[in-house]
Structure 1
Amino acid sequence: MKQGGSLAAGVATLFGSGASNQVGAALGALAFPTIGTAGVVAVRQFVAAAVLLPVARPDVRRFTWGQWWPTLALGLVFATMNLTLYTAIDRIGLALAVTLEFLGPLAVALGGSRTRRDLCCALAAGAGVYVLVLPGPSSDLLGVALALTAACCWAASIVLNGLVGARLPGLQAPAVGTSVSALLYVPVAVFLVLHGRPNGSALLYAVAAGVLSSAVPYAADVVMLRRVPKRLFGVLMSVHPVLAALAGLLVLHQTPAPNVWLGTAVIVTVNAVAVGTRGR
């Protein structure tokens, strides 16, 4: 009973973390007209660094080059991933952008496999993307390309986190990586301050994005991975595109087209199958 309760608490935390992440992204989008996507990303990274550094307390003076280079790479990936995702959200909507970004972890799950099942999953994912985007003269191909760039960055962050996780304990690597990303956005913050663009509501939305989309998920991951088996964790992560669609609908009043719902369902199902059957 105790183990079942622990698992249930872990699953509840996972869904709460996912909802927090997507609601944070939706609130951040409300600040786009005032401070732009780069401004929202800057504030989000500042907030995340301010939360993670005191928790992780990394002793950077003791870092070796073998620890530094993947951590610096992780910071660059964070900076690129957040900017491309938020710009994609601004252009094509939250549901479509997040679902396309979700192809990153799906690619990692399928990467290197030559089984017939995974080949079928890859083909089904491709079909899902086509249905999701429905390319045509009116398609925002730049927005789609930015979301796919964010997907590549997410895949790279998974690989780098696995590498640096074996070299640095706890949250030291994400804390330093997020701080590096925050430093890269200092010029953006300076520009916004000098030009007097920030206002109270925009900053509040951007700070909320930092707390809900960075600080809360990082803390929740620590709890979840102690209580939820990794395979189940990967399967349940598939709920993110659905939560993104709901957050976009409720917060931003973005109603996904039927093809977006259908494509999202295909990609979510493919991920659940690919991760859930991994290693069987």
Structure 2
Amino acid sequence: MIRGKFTRSDGTLLLTVLIGLFGVYSLSRWIDTHRPSANPSIEEEELYLNATTVKRLSLGFNGLAADWYWMRSLQYVGGKIIKLPAHVQLDHLGQLNLKLLAPLLDATTTLDPQFMEPYQYAAVVLPDLNVQEAIRIVKKGVTANPLEWRPYHHLGFIYWQQRDFAKAEEAYEQGAKVPGAPEWMRAMTGRMASEGGSRNTAREIYQRLYEEATDNQVRNMARKRLLQVNSMDEQNALRRLLAADKSRTGRCPESWREIEVLLRALPVRVDSSGAPLDPGGTPYQLVKDKCDVNLGEKSEVPLR
């Protein structure tokens, strides 16, 4: 049997790999021992290791360090959300003390500027906490990824949320010029200019966000926002129907059964009791004395 010789170059390569692994292990241990206290009664510390320092310590293993920071970002938010009521949405977390989220996402994207998920997370979660930081981080993604259209989509989403339709239009217009950008990016440019505040625009944006999301929390948020937009249209149609019935009878209906014939004219599902169902499948509540309609208590459609 002929055995390969262990050359000096092999030894150098092996030593480099071992030093790199030891560096990553040491970095992980250092970070773990310097993390902020998990005690919610203690005010959170500043970010315990910034991106510049991590880059210096990671010995070229920036991708691994970026993954670590990304997971910390998700755990950080998840640990706060778990204490909130179920109806609170990912894009409305301003009530929480999430002051470390922006630095965590900034560190992640500094270590790995081509890592797309943190930019989307910044666009969805950060605006309700610190919109300027959200814009800064996503713009960093635009600069670092000139051949990617998605950061432009995220930037347009932020401006649209802020009702700055002119800047949203500009972001989508620039993104539409990137090779490989989908046609709907160009269509979104015109929509921002003509009907930026409409429900149809909201429906389109959340649909695209849902389709592009890789993070389950972001995807679920977009799904629930789509339910909300569709429910708004349905509630308006039901209110018009209730008003028309009152004009005919002189009173508000006591039950959905009284207007079941009229309900057939609407594109809504009904249950066995005759109650119309919201997009999530929960019956709408009839407000009898006001000829109005509300979401059911168990509905998964967000209230805000």
Q: Shorter chain as normaliser: what TM range?
A: under 0.3
Higher helix share: 1
Query: Whose RCO is larger (CA < 8 A, sep 6+)?
Result: 1
TM-score by length of 2: 0.21
TM-score by length of 1: 0.22
